[in-house]
Each structure stands twice: as structure tokens, then as C-alpha cells.
């Protein structure tokens, strides 16, 4: 049986998926597929990228993203935690702003420890290839920057159980600096470079500083007059960095044959030729630039990925994008609307394979919409197999070996390694494109215009699910990045409270709401709960009265709670005002009366 890579009329009903499933790719006739390198080969290869080999692999990745054969990129991340505390865990009826506040706090608290990236290529001969990088990431001190982050025990245990290398993470993780800080870093570096060759006109010394500079001048004069020769060095002890700067400035204006270098115990002054001094300064500048470039580190990957404007695909990827945004791009904004706008500035085109699968009839064929389950389905039903899409280089043998096992065997399958999960996400998205809007695989021949052209058409047909992310644990499954004013419609949500001793869990809600299926019950306490219905309905007033229930809409409940909070604040403010008044020194009755005639109540009390 011959199948091809093709999608028909993908609409708003299309697709639903998760982060661990995709087995076989039914895209193309075997004669159109080849595992040979693409037209413009990349030297990118080794899966695990650390600070030891990052420079060469970043160069390879940068070139890879610029190739005309690169169609989209899939990403995945692993992190040190999910929720800073129990109070910040997701709740089913969170508003969108409440949910954003929670994921924002998580993004600000935890660290991406591993980042997986797969580039998907289709060349002029319709060869398909997926290239993958697995980056270990760890912040390193640079200048005044010294990152702090939280770890969640369950998350670290999860990583350990799935073979995560903590030694490689901490010892060889690639450093990073938020891109929003790099412009300041570059300005500071330029000032340091200028300081190597130009006199500091803004150096203002205290009396102690003036005395110290005079002592340094005298020490240098004595050293030179005493017969100092080329190659010899003089150590000038200093008590802190400011005094070291005084030494550097003094040496700079003293003589062209002197060169100063900071060391642990102070500043080392060398007697050198002018040519040697120029070489030393050039080497110093090169080293300073290198250190800054290494400090920026992995953030450059996000920068070039953003500049590529390629579609970025994730699976159940809200947290991935929140963490990436805050860790590498810029601090998370205060509001969800700002985040949506700024995320699309970073990555203009985003797809979430879990959301797409959930909205497609394809979901009915899956055991679950987890990534491994979706991958298993694709690997079983779509040809050629994913292992055929991996480059032939030896360093990818571990992926080929992993693909010999069942996706449910997480240890051998490499599930939850960020690189392998990114690879599975890429395969899943290709598999989604191989299905039509009804969730069926296409049985057409390879299109005359070629796979790349057909892929472009199919991506256009996914417009309805573009820039939307899956929202877990919510009655709203979609976070629409294009809709800054998005709100959740909760017309089918009711607050039910018991006015008697009857516990709410003993109430059969299907009897209370006429002819309506109850989607979910969110219990708030033993005596009240939210009831989410699948469709609008009327309340059975007879049963409501019989059971002693008070039922109001979700919006009415929110308004009532807001009014309670307002009245409580008024009461608390009034009590505070009385407490302050009582603590003031006693005055005569005339003074108090006069004061009361001219003093208005604080606005916070009469509001």
C-alpha cells in the first residue's frame, strides 16, 4: 500500500495531540525518499551539545536554519520545576489572567535544564531529513550576573528516572544571558575596551585615592629609575577593584612601554615594547569579547531561531514558550495580552501538536494525546519509518537504536530527553500533515508540484490552528495568541451551594440540571461546588428547593465574591482608622469637635 505526505482541507475541527507519540510517517512513496545528505549538507551532528562543543554546533545550526530546505523547527524543553508552591497550581476554573500569573511565576522561578531542537528539511528531490540537537543549559556567573533558580523535588526525580545527566547539566551546561541584557553588556564591554587605550576623563578621586595614586606614581618612578628592563614585572598591591582601576589609569598615562594586568593580589605592571603592548591589548580585547560571547551562550540559539522566521512547533507547549521567553528573551510582561503580542514578535508562527490533534478526528484513533502515544500511532501508521528520517552520521545511532523499541518503554525510547522529544514532535507534525481534515491518511500519489510546495499549501490550511496553544486543566482548551482580549465564556458554569447540612458531594447534579450532561464538578468545600455543563440548560426548581440548594451563575458568584472582598476591605480600613485615632494623644473636647468638623473620612472608608 502506497501513501504520501498530504493534508486536505484542514479546518477548525482539525487535530489534537500530546508530548510523546508518533511512530510512522505514511508520507511519500519510497522511491521519493532517500537518507542521503540533502543538497546543501550541514556538518551539524552530535546530539548532546555542551559548553565544550557549543561554538561549533551553534555555527552549524545557524547555517542549517538558513538553508532553503529548512521548512520548520520543532522544540522541546525539560525544566527544574513546574509550580513554586501548592497555592500556585493550576485550577480548572482559573481565568486566563490567573493562569498566566501562575505560569509567569513558574517561568520566573525555575530553569530550563535541557533544550531540544529539530530542523525539518525537504530538498528539491523531495528528500526529507530531521536534524536534532540536544542542548544542556546551565547559568554561569559573569561580571555581576549570578542567576538564582528553584528546583522542585518531583521534577528532579522525574529527570533522574529518565536518564538525565546532572553532571553534564551543572558541569558542562551552556551558559546564557537574557537577550534584553546584552545591549547593556556590550556597552560596558566597550567602556572596558576604551579603558585599555584611552585616558579616563571621568575619574574622580577621593583624598585617599589621590594619596594612593601619588604612591603608585612614586613606586613606578623608583622601579623605572632602578633599571627596569623589558620583560620585567612589578606587582602593585591593591585593596579593591577601584584601587586597581587607579593603578591601570596611572600606568596608562605614565609611559607607553608599560602594560598593566589585574591579578588576584593587585595589578601586575610589565615593561614591554610598544609592539608587544599592542599585541597584549589586542589579545586582552579578544579575550574580553570571547568571554562575553560565551556568557550570552545559548541565548544566541533563540536569537537566530527568531530571526529565521520559521514556524516553531511544540507539543503541549505553553510552559515551553513561557520558560524560553523569560530565560532567554526578556522578562515576562505583567499581562497576558502583552505576553501574547511579544511572543509572536519572537516567534511569528507557532503550532501546538497537542492542540491540533485534540481538535481533529484523529484524536479518536489514539489511546491518549501524549507525545509518546501520538508518536507511536504515527510510527505504526505512516511510512517511511522515523528512523529513515535521521541523518546517516554515526552520532545518531542512539536515536536509531531507540526507535527499535516500543514508545511505551520510556527508558530505551529516550522519551523526556529534550532532543528526542523535539524529534518526536517533528515527526508528529509531519504525520499530522499527512492526514486530511477527517483524520484520514491521504492515498493520493506524490503531487507533481513536489512535497515542499504541498507542505506550504497544507501549512496555509492550518491557519485556523496557527498561533494557538493547548491549555491544560481548564474548561477552555485554547490559548489564542492572536486574540489579546480573549476571555473564557462561562455561561455553562454554575455555583451550587447547600443551605442545609447536606454535603455537596451527596447531590446528584444530573438531577438538578435538566437534560444536560455534567462535564465536570469542581468542589470548593463540603457545601459548595462549581458545576460545568456541556450545554445550556434550565435548573429543576423543584429538586433545587427539595435539596436546599442555592444556584447562581458563575458571573453572579464572581460578582458576589468581589462585593464581599470590597466590604471586608472597607471594614478593615475603618478598624485601622479607629486604631490610629485611638493611639493619638488625647485632646480637649473643643479640639476634637473642631477637628471632626474639618476632617473628612478617608476615601478608602467611604468608597
Cα separation, 174 vs 167, in Å, equals 13
Residues 6+ apart with CB under 8 A from 493: 93, 475, 530, 531, 532, 533, 553, 554
pLDDT score recorded for residue 124: 85
Strand partners, 115: 77, 135
Cα separation, 301 vs 286, in Å, equals 22
Would you state the torsion angle of the CA atoms of residues 224, 225, 230, 232, taken in this order, to the nearest 10 degrees? -60
Q: Fill in the DSSP letter of residue 600.
A: P
Mean residue pLDDT of the chain comes to: 85
pLDDT score recorded for residue 172: 97
pLDDT score recorded for residue 411: 56
pLDDT score recorded for residue 412: 61
First to last CA, the chain: 75
Burial 94-110 (b: 16+ CB within 10 A, else e): bbbeebbbbbbebbbbb
Going from N- to C-terminal start, the domains of the chain cover 21-177+299-468, 186-291, 489-607
DSSP string, 511-555: HHBTT--EEEEEE-SSSEEEEEESS---B-HHHHHHHTEEEEEHH
What the block records as the C-alpha cell of 76 is: 522541546
* Annotation: CATH topology of 21-177+299-468: Nucleotidyltransferase; domain 5 (3.30.420)
Q: What is the pLDDT of residues 382-398, one digit of tens each?
A: 877 888 888 878 777 78
Compute the average pLDDT of residues 291-319.
Answer: 97
* Nearest by Cα to 530 from 576, 555, 560, 495: 495
Residues 6+ apart with CB under 8 A from 583: none
Q: What is the pLDDT of residues 54-112, one digit of tens each?
A: 999 999 999 999 999 999 999 999 999 999 998 889 999 999 999 999 999 999 999 99
Q: Fill in the DSSP letter of residue 548.
A: T
Q: Which helix (H) or strand (E) holds 560?
A: helix 554-583
| Lowest-confidence segment of 227-236, 319-328, 339-348, 596-605 by average pLDDT | 596-605
Compute the average pLDDT of residues 1-30.
Answer: 34
* Report for 88-97, 178-187, 317-326, 589-598: range of highest mean pLDDT: 317-326
pLDDT score recorded for residue 450: 73
pLDDT score recorded for residue 302: 98
Residues 6+ apart with CB under 8 A from 6: 27, 433, 434, 436, 442, 444, 447, 454, 458
Query: In 10 A of CB 536, how many CB atoms?
Result: 9
pLDDT score recorded for residue 174: 98
Residue 523 has pLDDT above 60, yes or no: yes
Cα separation, 530 vs 541, in Å, equals 18
Share of the chain above pLDDT 70, in %: 86
Query: In 10 A of CB 334, how many CB atoms?
Result: 12
* Nearest by Cα to 352 from 303, 315, 325: 315
Q: What is the pLDDT of residues 208-226, one digit of tens each?
A: 999 999 999 999 999 999 8
* Nearest by Cα to 435 from 374, 372, 480, 371: 374
Cα separation, 490 vs 509, in Å, equals 17
Pairing state between β 70-79 and 112-122 = antiparallel
Longest Cα pair distance anywhere in the chain, in angstroms? Answer: 109
Rg (CA), the chain: 32
pLDDT score recorded for residue 586: 58
Burial of 134 from C-beta contacts in 10 A (0-12 / 13-18 / 19+): buried
pLDDT score recorded for residue 430: 92
Cα separation, 229 vs 248, in Å, equals 20
pLDDT score recorded for residue 201: 61
Q: Are 297 and 174 in contact (CB under 8 A)?
A: yes
Q: Are 517 and 508 in contact (CB under 8 A)?
A: no
DSSP string, 394-425: GGGHHHHHHTTS-TT-HHHHTTT-HHHHHHHH
Q: Are 510 and 473 in contact (CB under 8 A)?
A: no
pLDDT score recorded for residue 454: 75
pLDDT score recorded for residue 436: 75
Q: Are 498 and 508 in contact (CB under 8 A)?
A: no
Share of the chain above pLDDT 90, in %: 60
Q: What is the pLDDT of residues 556-583, one digit of tens each?
A: 999 999 999 899 899 888 888 888 888 7
**Residue indicated by cell numbers 522541546:** 76
Q: Are 244 and 267 in contact (CB under 8 A)?
A: yes
**Which pTM value belongs to this model?**
0.82
Cα separation, 442 vs 5, in Å, equals 7
| Alpha-helical runs (H) found in 490-553 | 509-512, 541-547
What the block records as the C-alpha cell of 230 is: 623589558
| Lowest-confidence segment of 36-40, 156-160, 179-183 by average pLDDT | 36-40
Amino acid at each position: 500500500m502506497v501513501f504520501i505526505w498530504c493534508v486536505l482541507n484542514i479546518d477548525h475541527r482539525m487535530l489534537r495531540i500530546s508530548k510523546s507519540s508518533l511512530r510512522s510517517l505514511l508520507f511519500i512513496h519510497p522511491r521519493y525518499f532517500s537518507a542521503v545528505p540533502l543538497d546543501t549538507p550541514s556538518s551539524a551532528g552530535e546530539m548532546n551539545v555542551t559548553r565544550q562543543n557549543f561554538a561549533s554546533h551553534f555555527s552549524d545550526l545557524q547555517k542549517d536554519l538558513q538553508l532553503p530546505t529548512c521548512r520548520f523547527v520543532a522544540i522541546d524543553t525539560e525544566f527544574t520545576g513546574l509550580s513554586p508552591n501548592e497555592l500556585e497550581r493550576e485550577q480548572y476554573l482559573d481565568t486566563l489572567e490567573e493562569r498566566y500569573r501562575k505560569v509567569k511565576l513558574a517561568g520566573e522561578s525555575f530553569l530550563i535544564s535541557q533544550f531540544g531542537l529539530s530542523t525539518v528539511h525537504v530538498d528539491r528531490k523531495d528528500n526529507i531529513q530531521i536534524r536534532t540537537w540536544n542542548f544542556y543549559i546551565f547559568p554561569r556567573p559573569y561580571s555581576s550576573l549570578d542567576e538564582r533558580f528553584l528546583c522542585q523535588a518531583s521534577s528532579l526525580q522525574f529527570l533522574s528516572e529518565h536518564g538525565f545527566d546532572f553532571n553534564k547539566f551543572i558541569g558542562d551546561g551552556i551558559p546564557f544571558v537574557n537577550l534584553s541584557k546584552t545591549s547593556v553588556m556590550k556597552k560596558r564591554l566597550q567602556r572596558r575596551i576604551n579603558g585599555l587605550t584611552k585616558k579616563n576623563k571621568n575619574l574622580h578621586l577621593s583624598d585617599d585615592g589621590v594619596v594612593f595614586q601619588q604612591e603608585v606614581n612614586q613606586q613606578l618612578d623608583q622601579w623605572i629609575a632602578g633599571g627596569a628592563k623589558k620583560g620585567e614585572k612589578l606587582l602593585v598591591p591593591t585593596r579593591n577593584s577601584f584601587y586597581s582601576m587607579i593603578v591601570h589609569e596611572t600606568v596608562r598615562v605614565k609611559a607607553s612601554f608599560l602594560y598593566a594586568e589585574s591579578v588576584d593580589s593587585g595589578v601586575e605592571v610589565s615593561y614591554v615594547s610598544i609592539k608587544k603592548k599592542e599585541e597584549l591589548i589586542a589579545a586582552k580585547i579578544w579575550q574580553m569579547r570571547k568571554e562575553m560571547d560565551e556568557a550570552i551562550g545559548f541565548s544566541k540559539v533563540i536569537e537566530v531561531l527568531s530571526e529565521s522566521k520559521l514556524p516553531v512547533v511544540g507539543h503541549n507547549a505553553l510552559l515551553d514558550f513561557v520558560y524560553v521567553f523569560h530565560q532567554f528573551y526578556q522578562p515576562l510582561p505583567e499581562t497576558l495580552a502583552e505576553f501574547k503580542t511579544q511572543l509572536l514578535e519572537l516567534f511569528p508562527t507557532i503550532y501546538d501538536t497537542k492542540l491540533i490533534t485534540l481538535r481533529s478526528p484523529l484524536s479518536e484513533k489514539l489511546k491518549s494525546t501524549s507525545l509518546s502515544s501520538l508518536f507511536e500511532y504515527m510510527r505504526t501508521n505512516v511510512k517511511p519509518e522515523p528512523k529513515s528520517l535521521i541523518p546517516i552520521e554515526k552520532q545518531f545511532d542512539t536515536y536509531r537504536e531507540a526507535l527499535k523499541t516500543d514508545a511505551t518503554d520510556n527508558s530505551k525510547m529516550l522519551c523526556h530527553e529534550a532532543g528526542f522529544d523535539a524529534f518526536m514532535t517533528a515527526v508528529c507534525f509531519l504525520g499530522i500533515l499527512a492526514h486530511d481534515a477527517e483524520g484520514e491518511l491521504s492515498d493520493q500519489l506524490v503531487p507533481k508540484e513536489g512535497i515542499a510546495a504541498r507542505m506550504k499549501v497544507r501549512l496555509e490550511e492550518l491557519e485556523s490552528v496557527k498561533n494557538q496553544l493547548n491549555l491544560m486543566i481548564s474548561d477552555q482548551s485554547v490559548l489564542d495568541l492572536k486574540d489579546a482580549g480573549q476571555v473564557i465564556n462561562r455561561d455553562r458554569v454554575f455555583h451550587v451551594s447547600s443551605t442545609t447540612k447536606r454535603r455537596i458531594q451527596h447531590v446528584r447534579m444530573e438531577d438538578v440540571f435538566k437534560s444536560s450532561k455534567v462535564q465536570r464538578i469542581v468542589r470548593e468545600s463540603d457545601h459548595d461546588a462549581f458545576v460545568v455543563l456541556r450545554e445550556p440548560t434550565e435548573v429543576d426548581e423543584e429538586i433545587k428547593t427539595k435539596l436546599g440548594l442555592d444556584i447562581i451563575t458563575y458571573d453572579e458568584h464572581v460578582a458576589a465574591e468581589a462585593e464581599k472582598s470590597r466590604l471586608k476591605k472597607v471594614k478593615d480600613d475603618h478598624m485601622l482608622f479607629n486604631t490610629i485615632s485611638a493611639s493619638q494623644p488625647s485632646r480637649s473636647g473643643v479640639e476634637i469637635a473642631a477637628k471632626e468638623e474639618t476632617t473628612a473620612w478617608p476615601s478608602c472608608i467611604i468608597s
